[in-house]
Chain A
Amino acid sequence: MNIDESAVTPAKATKRRPIAIAAVVVVVGVFGWLLYGGLDKNVVFFLTPQELLAKGTSGYDVPVRLGGQVKPGTVKWDDKTLRLTFDVTDGQSDIAVQSSGAPPQMFRDGQGVVVEGRFGRDHVFNSTGLMIKHSNEYRPPKAGEKPQEMYKTLIKGSGA
């Protein structure tokens, strides 16, 4: 054991230590720059309504994801045509979304959603996919409250 110890450890290791430390500092520095230098902009999974509207004409007719809350009171479900319309809001701006098919079961007023599709020139977002973005809260229903009441009233009688 004591024979290979000296053979395995390079003799120059101590001499090169300052270089190694400098290198580690640079790596950590670059990593910090990555995180706090505004690079997070391009890794976002979705845009908020305000960000999408801010893009102006370049935001039209390109595939994007839009995320926000379902604005309470705007949900309309047509069980004949299976057409679903609602507004997505981030508190500042709203965008009307048109979707088809029954939504996921957690869909309700005020729920976080992400829709995939294209924002049309008529200022209606044509959705080809609807996802729920739920919070990190897990709570049982309060006394008298029934889970998923909203969904049942929304989809009732659709037979879907």
Chain B
Amino acid sequence: MAFADDWRRVRAIAWKDLTTERRSKAGFNGVVALGVTILMLFGFALGPDTQAIRDAAAGALWLAALFAAVLAFNRSYQVELESGALDPLLLYPGSRWAIFSGKLLANLSFVGLMLVIVVLVGIVLFQVTIPAAWPALIGVLVLGAIGICTLGTFYASMASRSRAREVLLPLLLFPMLVPALLAAMQASKALLGGDLMHEADAWIKLLIAYDVIFLIATHLAFEHVIEA
């Protein structure tokens, strides 16, 4: 029953964050626009070779998603910091991890929606042919989004309360995300190419392991991070 209470808190926090986002659509639109802009810039950088663009599509998509997502993570705490709502939130009885889960859920929905739009635009811009194994590709997108959002939400809880948060969050986040990004990019690339060499499986396993490890580690560590 204590768990049911925590779960109610998780949903309440997630719902509150998403409602705030829905009321001010400017944030979401801005983040999506940034993601699409980065995709376009990758298109220029790769030049007129259609095959080269297709080969690089997976990497470009994930990097565009990552850069756009970083903006969302800082925002998710910024709203509370500006209105001073974080301290009363911490004073409520119940587990601290529920705050983290709620924030994570909200960020996941936000980034997930952004990812859907960016991927659709990317498929058109980079002239990607959708592979037969598209359900697996969606699985990779979900797993990759979980990995990025878990650590992103965790590090943003620190970075957003420091000076120079714009610099600090990517600096802390990107090196830790290397395994997840590498796995997500390689799995997407393999699946887009028809997975001829059967590489995707191993990369997806790595993604699952990464997600499980850091979901647990961040939930445990969050208590130490938020109380200070």
Contacts and interface: CB of A to CB of B under 8 A. Distances in A.
**Is chain B in direct contact with chain A in the complex (CB below 8 A)?**
yes
Given A10-B223, A42-B199, A58-B197, A34 B216 contact: no
Given A30-B209, A34-B209, A23 B216 contact: yes
Contacts of B202: 38-39, 41-42
Consensus secondary structure, chain B interface? helix
Contacts of A33: 209
A31 B212 CA distance: 10
B92 to A, nearest CB: 14
Given A55-B197, A58-B197, A42 B206 contact: yes
A111 B172 CA distance: 41
Given A10-B223, A55-B197, A31 B209 contact: yes
A25 to B, nearest CB: 10
Contacts, number: 37
B212 A30 contact: yes
A39 B206 contact: yes
A23 B223 CA distance: 15
Chain A residues touching B, majority SS: helix
Given A23-B220, A39-B205, A30 B213 contact: yes
Nearest to A28: B213
Nearest to A41: B202
B58 to A, nearest CB: 15
B140 to A, nearest CB: 14
Contacts of A39: 202, 205-206, 209
Nearest to A34: B209
With most chain B CB atoms within 10 A of its CB, the pick from A10, A27, A33 is A27
Given A31-B213, A34-B206, 10 more contacts: A10-B227, A23-B216, A23-B219, A23-B220, A27-B212, A30-B209, A30-B213, A31-B209, A39-B209, A42-B186
Interface of B: 186, 196-197, 199, 202-203, 205-206, 209, 212-213, 216-217, 219-220, 223, 227
24 contacts: A10-B223, A10-B227, A20-B220, A23-B216, A23-B219, A23-B220, A27-B212, A27-B213, A27-B217, A30-B209, A30-B212, A30-B213, A31-B209, A31-B213, A33-B209, A34-B206, A34-B209, A37-B205, A39-B206, A39-B209, A42-B202, A42-B203, A42-B206, A58-B197
